[in-house]
Structure 1
């Protein structure tokens, strides 16, 4: 359970950094309360975690030939697809998570989310599963 909470927090921070750096990604509307923004970030991070757990293995299996052909760079397109899918799921739930353009904002956002999540995973200790 602790590992799940840490992964959700890492996803939330990574998504927030991507939205902060890229104008085409909106996560939590301006002018709303801190609690509302925090709840939006946590809920979008939870959705992103579930999408990564369920859809990512299937998407990577289907994209395996392209991933091999591009020496792994197509993984960023798969991750951008997962971000776009998270946006699509978040919209009917009333969460403020918008990606304006796929090829520029989503792919660049996927790159930033990957880098931030990787750095935070190095910094945060792995919990013992004893």
Structure 2
């Protein structure tokens, strides 16, 4: 549970930064930002693996670049479900996915456990 909360915090930070940097991504308030981060975590845990398997041939053909579209689709799905989070189009979703992914990667590097 603690890992999920930490990941949600980094996702919220990434979504906030994406809303600040990427035209076409907007968050109405802090509550919507937190809820979007939690929903993104849930979507990434349950929906993304199914979509990943279904799009695996395209992902292989594009040498993994199609994963950017999959990640953008997950952010777009959250935007469809949550009224206070808005993503205008595929390009905004892809850029938001890149920003969120980089922030989450940096967060993982900071919090990495070196015992293993």
Same fold (TM over 0.5): yes
Hey, what's the Cα distance between the residues in 2 that align with 1:40 and 1:124?
25
- The equivalent of 1:6 in structure 2 is 6
Q: Deviation above 3 Å: which 4+ runs of structure 1?
A: none
Question: Unmatched 5+ residue regions in structure 2?
Answer: none
- Within 5 A, what are the aligned runs for 1:40-79? 40-79=32-71
Hey, what's the Cα distance between the residues in 2 that align with 1:4 and 1:21?
25
* 1:117 aligned onto 2:110: no
Alpha-carbon offset, residue 10 of structure 1: 1.0
Secondary structure at the counterpart of residue 51 of structure 2: helix
Alpha-carbon offset, residue 4 of structure 1: 1.1
Alpha-carbon offset, residue 125 of structure 1: 3.8
1:41-64 per-residue CA deviation (whole Å, 9 max, x = no partner) reads 111111111111110000100010
Alpha-carbon offset, residue 68 of structure 1: 0.6
Pair 53,22 (structure 1): closer, same or farther in 2 beyond 3 Å: same
Which entry has the higher C-alpha Rg, 1 or 2?
Answer: 1
Secondary structure at the counterpart of residue 98 of structure 1: strand
Alpha-carbon offset, residue 120 of structure 1: 1.2
Hey, what's the Cα distance between the residues in 1 that align with 2:89 and 2:61?
25
Aligned residues: 114
Secondary structure at the counterpart of residue 118 of structure 1: helix
Question: Unmatched 5+ residue regions in structure 1?
Answer: 29-36
